[in-house]
Amino acid sequence: MSFINEEVEQYLTQLMPIEDPLLYKIQQEGLAQEIPIIQVPSIRLIQLFLQMIKPKTIIEVGTAIGFSTIWLAQAAPDATIHTIERKASMAAKAREHFRQMKLDKQIILHEGEAIQVIPTLPQADFIFIDAAKGKYKEFFHLTFPLLKVGGVFVFDNVLFRGYVADPTIAETKPMLRKIRDFNDFIATFPKLSTSFIPIGDGLAVCYKTEE
């Protein structure tokens, strides 16, 4: 769900349609089953970042059915992607989708809790976080040492349907308070250059300037 005007969202989506029929089928499967998957305008922007950065290693926290992972792999064909999913049922669907898209050799799916898997991963040029929103700060502290200087973080859902902008609503929901706290944290973190982009459900894009 997006907080952007529905007509604008539809306009942006039709400007950038999913051309691959199998990827479109995966998207529709996710929507039909109410599985949270990234909006197309957001992942198109992330693809653009990847095409400019040309990363060799990508870490993704939050695979779900693999929809966003496939976009990452297609945008960075020379990269190895380490993606983490804690739910066995989701991981099984993602593996099948990677096989169908012929990306299973490029993508390494780690099944388990992110806090346990992250410390085992290699350094990366690009890290995409799209998992439990209330744990974003924890995920950040675990992944920050893995991101190379000059690398980029992207966090999805940081505006959470626009609710985080209203303190009266945010104060009633612990998760919204955590997202607001996380946004304040990365906005002022001294070793990052950060911007917030109101597209999809809100992206935070962070460039690592120093260790």
Predicted TM-score (pTM) of the model is: 0.94
| DSSP string computed for 9-30 | HHHHHHHS----HHHHHHHHHH
Binding annotation:
38, 68, 85, 113-114, 130, 156-157
Binding annotation for Mg(2+):
130, 156-157
Q: All domains of the chain, ordered by start, with CATH?
A: 6-208 (3.40.50.150)
pLDDT tens for residues 50-88? 999 999 999 999 999 999 999 999 999 999 999 999 999
Contacts of 158 by beta carbon, 8 Å cutoff, 6+ apart: 136, 164, 179, 182, 183, 196, 201, 202, 203, 204
Q: What percent of the chain has pLDDT over 90?
A: 82
pLDDT tens for residues 136-165? 999 999 999 999 999 999 999 999 888 888
Token digits of residue 99 = 């096989």
Helix (H, G, I), strand (E, B) or coil at 187: helix
Binding annotation for S-adenosyl-L-methionine:
38, 68, 85, 113-114, 130
Above 70 in pLDDT, residue 3? no
Residue 134 to residues 87, 130, 191: CA-CA distances in angstroms?
A: 17, 11, 22
